[in-house]
Amino acid sequence: MARADPESNRRMSAAGTVVANSAGDMRRLGVQLGQAMGVGDVVALIGPLGAGKTTFAQGLAQGLGVAAERHVASPSFALVNEHPGRTPFVHVDFYRLRTRAELPELGIEEAYDRAATAIEWADRFPDALPADHLQITLAVEDTGGRRLELQASGPRSQRLAGVLAIT
Ligand SMILES: Nc1ncnc2c1ncn2[C@@H]1O[C@H](COP(=O)(O)OP(=O)(O)OP(=O)(O)O)[C@@H](O)[C@H]1O
Ligand SMILES: [Mg+2]
């Protein structure tokens, strides 16, 4: 795994880049981040179909202590899945959400206060995110690996971004 200069991750709202050369790498990065997450942390996963958002979220679940038997898949139809763990893990997918009016019934704002949350396709409804969230934008590299661009928007997410940059 290559990674960006960790210095760039210490500044508030600074961006950092990490490359995951395989699905295993992607999952391991998720585990690292999940181990550092607690109640109130929100990760926004952005990227095209097949970018690796769910693979990363499966790592988050593992890092958050969700049981290995638990099937963590894209919550495309349920829109929200909750998994018990060391910290409860709320896994959201905005892909099939049509309007902002459907958001309140998903209960995600309430989830922000009592769980660690990951949202796939978060860019579809950016104003549904809390002010302080870690945005991770995934892009497919020519090599077949994935580039992760990290963008923190407050102190909580800044701390999380540092976890990926320094390991
Ligand atoms: N870093 C990586 N390098 C190579 N392949 C990867 C990487 N990360 C994930 N993959 C593979 O890419 C495929 C798609 O992954 P995944 O389902 O996680 O994407 P997704 O972004 O959730 O897709 P969707 O938008 O359809 O929900 C899987 O086969 C997965 O194993
Ligand atoms: Mg997915």
The enclosing domain of 124 has a CATH number of 3.40.50.300
In a domain, 1, yes or no: no
pLDDT band with cut points at 50, 70 and 90 for residue 136: very high
CA of 52 to the centre of ligand 2 (A): 7
Which range of residues forms the domain containing residue 127?
6-166
In a domain, 107, yes or no: yes
Flag whether pLDDT at 78 surpasses 90: no
Lowest mean pLDDT among 12-26, 44-58, 62-76, 146-160: 12-26
Closest CA to 138 of 146, 130, 127: 146
Structural domains in the chain (count): 1
CA of 92 to the centre of ligand 2 (A): 10
Exposed / middle / buried, residue 63 (Cβ in 10 Å: 0-12, 13-18, 19+)? buried
Q: Which ligand is nearest to the CA of 74?
A: 2
Residue with CA at minimum distance from ligand 1 atom 10: 23
The amino acid at residue 128 is A
Any ligand 1 atom below 6 A from CB of 20: yes
What pLDDT is recorded for position 15? Answer: 64
Residue 114 in tokens? 């009592």
Neighbours of 153 (CB within 10 A): 19
